[in-house]
Amino acid sequence: MDAAEAKVDGNAIGGLLREIFVMEMTTAETTCASCGAVNPVGRVDVYLRAPGVVVRCPGCEQVLMRIVRGPGRYWIDLRGMRCLEFAASE
Amino acid sequence: MVALNQETPRVASLVLDVPEWHGHDAGQHVDVRLTADDGYQAQRSYSIASAPEDPRLQITVERLEDGEVSPYLVGEVRVGDKVELRGPIGGYFVWKVENSTPLLLVAGGSGVVPLMAMIRHRSAAGSKVQARLLYSSRTADDIIYKEELDRIASSGDDVTVAYTLTRAQPSAWKGYARRIDRDMVREVAWPKELSPMAFVCGPTSFVESAAGLLVDLGYDPLRIKTERFGATGG
């Protein structure tokens, strides 16, 4: 497949993130640990066909987050994200 | 599933009666999961096409020949069959009628589906927000919702629809006949001075090119919301 078409965005992982955080997360704000850019999850770059899910900063392409879902288990690497901010559920 | 509407040769809308559905916002999607007899599961996201006001949920699916889920949803599933879904999902790529600035919708192929939910929401809620849709398809046969869009556009209800056909055009075609470009966007899009809200949906390369053209026109990047389908693995 064309590499450029392999990229989608954070809207595509709204379901996965809701499994993990148990709330709507595409409006959550991410802060890139590398360039400091702040973007809602709906705007970040997402690659679904890596081993697991790879989320990158749309500005500098730094890896913000990696999520691997195995049988009955998640592994989440958040090193590239300085902050993930979202509204508390009521 | 309570009804199946074949929209184009490759695209169908599934009308679903979902018990305990608590409503959705225009622009949201659902995840559909299929489970084979041996337990193998495949899951894909599909945009909701119906307005929040519609009592029945409708999703529109494009059949991709090498897909794992869409060939089942377009071709095999029958009225009365059960479909496993979760949702609604998403809060970023969402439009509500309370948002009163002019609306610009830009669709590539089946990227029109969540934008159709916004147009239907606008109509169902009796909203007077001015809306324009720029919709790119390959051929006339690939235009989804054509009849309904033409009806809404000709009803004098402040919705305009501009089509472009990139691959082949019927004779006497009055729409555009090329890929979306700067001149086309300038002709169709609201001037930036009106502070329009833009939603762009389609294949990744289409979305990036259309969003780039809007930024060049002076649109505020924070008021351009995009949803990329990728090459779409349905």
Residue B63: pLDDT above 60? yes
The angle formed by the CA atoms of residues B102, B105 and B106, to the nearest 5 degrees, is 145
CATH 3.40.140.10 fits B103-228, yes or no: no
For residue A27, list chain B residues with Cβ-Cβ distance below 8 A. 91-92
Min distance A79 CA to chain B CA atoms (Å): 24
Confidence at residue A77, expressed as pLDDT on a 0 to 100 scale: 97
Min distance B112 CA to chain A CA atoms (Å): 16
Ramachandran quadrant class, B20 (left: phi over 0; alpha: psi -120 to 50; beta: rest) = left
CB spacing of A7 vs B204 below 8 angstroms: yes
* DSSP 8-state class, residue B191: P
Interface predicted TM-score (ipTM) of this complex, two decimals: 0.92
B 19-58 near A (Cβ less than 8 A): 29, 31, 43, 45
- In whole angstroms, what is the distance from residue B224 CA to residue B207 CA? 11
Work out the mean pLDDT of chain B and round it to a whole number.
Answer: 95
CB spacing of A5 vs B29 below 8 angstroms: no
Q: What is the pLDDT of residues B147-197, one digit of tens each?
A: 999 999 999 899 999 999 999 999 999 999 999 999 999 999 999 999 999
Q: From the candidates B41, B199, B204, which should be mutated to test the interface with A, based on the most A CB atoms within 10 A?
A: B204
- In whole angstroms, what is the distance from residue B8 CA to residue A38 CA? 40
Q: How do strand B197-202 and strand B103-108 relate by DSSP bridges?
A: parallel
Rounded to 10°, the helix B146-153/B112-124 angle is 40
- In whole angstroms, what is the distance from residue B113 CA to residue B111 CA? 5
3-state helix, strand, coil in chain A (%, to 5): 20, 40, 40
CB spacing of A4 vs B204 below 8 angstroms: yes
List, in order, residues 6 or more apart from B208 with CB less than 8 Å away: B226, B228
Rg of chain B taking only CA atoms, in angstroms: 17
Band the pLDDT of B79: cuts 50, 70, 90. Answer: very high
Q: Which CATH superfamily is domain B3-89 in?
A: Translation factors (2.40.30.10)
- In whole angstroms, what is the distance from residue B30 CA to residue B65 CA? 21
Q: Which two tokens stand for residue B215?
A: 């930024």
Confidence at residue B233, expressed as pLDDT on a 0 to 100 scale: 45
Band the pLDDT of A46: cuts 50, 70, 90. Answer: very high
Confidence at residue A3, expressed as pLDDT on a 0 to 100 scale: 62
What are the distances in angstroms from CA B198 to CA A54, A55, B110, B163?
Answer: 27, 24, 17, 17
Band the pLDDT of A49: cuts 50, 70, 90. Answer: confident
Give residue limits of the domains in chain B: 3-89, 103-228
Residue A90: pLDDT above 90? no
Give residue limits of the domains in chain A: 3-85
The pair phi, psi for residue B39, each rounded to 5°, is 95, -10
Residue B231: pLDDT above 70? no
For residue A14, list chain B residues with Cβ-Cβ distance below 8 A. 29, 45, 89-91
Residue B70: pLDDT above 90? yes
What are the distances in angstroms from CA A47 to CA A10, B100, B228?
Answer: 9, 34, 11
Band the pLDDT of A5: cuts 50, 70, 90. Answer: confident
Strands (E), B122-234: 131-137, 159-165, 197-202, 224-228
Q: What is the pLDDT of residues B204-228, one digit of tens each?
A: 999 999 999 999 999 999 999 999 9
Confidence at residue B13, expressed as pLDDT on a 0 to 100 scale: 97
Residue with the larger pLDDT of the pair A57 and A1: A57
Min distance A32 CA to chain B CA atoms (Å): 17
CB spacing of B91 vs A8 below 8 angstroms: no
- In whole angstroms, what is the distance from residue B214 CA to residue B196 CA? 11
- In whole angstroms, what is the distance from residue B164 CA to residue B141 CA? 12
